[in-house]
Amino acid sequence: MLLRAAGVWLIILVLASLNGAVRDLVVAPRIGDTPARAISTLVLCGLVLLVTWLSIGWIGPGSARQGWRLGLFWLALTLVFEFGAGRLSGKPWPVILADYNILRGRIWLLVPIVTCLAPPWLGRARGLWGPPP
């Protein structure tokens, strides 16, 4: 299950990178950085939910507990990548953490939350651990 989960997370990473490129190259120049980041965040949350919906049965968590473990695994990969890539590219911590400042209109925090919650939510919704609610 872990290898499949890592493969699906890599697909999410590619989609997130493409989403960020569209944001920076197309959307932000037209509407500004903060609104573009908000739109990009919501789009990425939708992509995470879609990819999870399509792949959760293939990944194969056998219980809600494994669904939660999968979500925590994806969350850990996401944060390690985000903070690691940020630091390796020379960004200082305040710049990296700026996207988490909801008081400045940054809603990026939704992405790690959705990434963590998507596997248990959608595994349950798909009826993997009994009938859907």
Q: CA geometry: angle at 56 spanning 60 and 12, to 5°?
A: 125
Give me the pLDDT at residue 120, please. Answer: 96
Q: Could you give the CA distance from residue 17 to residue 5 in angstroms, rounded to a whole number?
A: 18
Q: Concatenated DSSP letters for 65-124?
A: HHHHHHHHHHHHHHHHHHHHHHHHTT--HHHHHGGG-GGGT--TTHHHHHHHHHHHHHHH
The pTM of this model reads 0.92
Q: Please classify residue 48 by burial: count the beta carbons closer than 10 Å to its beta carbon, then call 0-12 exposed, 13-18 middle and 19+ buried.
A: buried
Could you read off the pLDDT tens digit of each residue along the chain, which spans 133 residues? 889 999 999 999 999 999 999 999 999 999 999 999 999 999 999 999 999 999 999 999 999 999 999 999 999 999 999 999 999 999 999 988 998 999 888 999 999 999 999 999 999 999 998 776 6
